[in-house]
Amino acid sequence: MCALPVRPERRRVWRPGREVDLEATWGPLRRGAGDPTWRRRGHWLFRGISTSTGCATLAVSVRTSPGEVLAQAWGEPEVVDRLLHRLPAMLGEGDDPSGFRVRHPALRRVHLARPGWRVPRTGLVMESLIPAIVEQKVTGAEAFAGQRRLVRRFGAPAPGPGAAMGLYVPPTPAQVARIASWEWLRMGISPQRSDTVMRVVRMADRLEELALLDAERASRRLRAVPGVGLWTVAETAQRALGHADAVSFGDYHVAKNIGYALTGEPRDDAGLAELLAPYAPHRYRVQRLVELGRFSPERRGPRMSVPSHLPTR
């Protein structure tokens, strides 16, 4: 659990010398509209963050006029100091889009409209990996609901002002490792996914060290973990490792929407790979621009129902 009473907050002012689009850059870190680790209050964005060494509330605000990013944090001093030190990387300071050439007019409009967007490198591998596993091979509604239940049931109120606004931090890997098998079923998370989560939390310290490697090497090592496939690695690498070429292959909606945006017709993974080949090593940038531009074909037919994973008689 997070240590209370709360220690004094710490602050940082970062002057990046460029525009910072906080919502576009950190948008993928939010797990659905009801994400309990995410709150907006005025010009401030609050995030509840947990690591193997403790938890923190991180609040960030961008002041475009003087070109400053303001950050405040509460919680375990070691965690707070690390987050504030990482803030520029978390907001894409190490991301280099200079070689990215936008060929499609519709994407070019989105690209020009979001000059402050960058691929983030949070360095928090488990923070991205566990939700990605929970989201494997299920509908978006089921994925977000499972992660929301996991945080509310086994996480904790965030330090500092976070608790008063209903902000939560996710459970630490050690806490996740103690969750009983039937609790996963009650959260609507299937045994295949919960088994993979339990496998990675037992390797949490080694997996967090992947943030010290370059994105390509770290991604290859992640794929060596049983149950962690190409889609899960990409979803983690886009957030934690700053991997600008990590496409979410294996995601029906990603292939369909990118195909629709670039050609007017949905594509499968093979067609997506062909479409994106000219954009390497910036293929994820295309995926994110399609998301930011909200390109998608018109829905037809009813939505899939959310299944239960509880045993039936």
Model confidence pLDDT, tens digit, residues 255-275: 999 999 999 999 999 999 999
Asked whether residue 282 is domain-assigned, the answer is yes
Asked whether residue 271 is domain-assigned, the answer is yes
With 50 as the cut, is the pLDDT of residue 224 above it? yes
Asked whether residue 278 is domain-assigned, the answer is yes
Asked whether residue 267 is domain-assigned, the answer is yes
The amino acid at residue 235 is: E
Asked whether residue 260 is domain-assigned, the answer is yes
pLDDT at 137: 81
Question: Residue 280: which domain range?
Answer: 252-293
The answer to whether the predicted template modeling score (pTM) of the entire model surpasses 0.85 is: yes
pLDDT at 225: 95
Angle (deg, nearest 10), helices 230-240 and 283-293: 80
Asked whether residue 71 is domain-assigned, the answer is no
Mean of the per-residue pLDDT values of the chain: 91
Residue percentage of the chain with pLDDT more than 70: 92
With 80 as the cut, is the pLDDT of residue 36 above it? yes
Question: What Cα–Cα distance (Å) separates residue 102 from each residue in 95, 267, 271?
Answer: 17, 19, 19
- Listing from the earlier edge strand, what are the strands of the sheet with 44-51? 10-14, 68-75, 54-63, 44-51, 38-41
Q: What is the dihedral sign for C-alpha 234, 92, 145, 3?
A: positive
Quote the number of domains for the chain: 1
Residue percentage of the chain with pLDDT more than 90: 84
- pLDDT band per the 50, 70, 90 thresholds, residue 306: very low
With 60 as the cut, is the pLDDT of residue 4 above it? no
Q: State mean pLDDT over 119-143.
A: 91
Asked whether residue 262 is domain-assigned, the answer is yes
Asked whether residue 284 is domain-assigned, the answer is yes
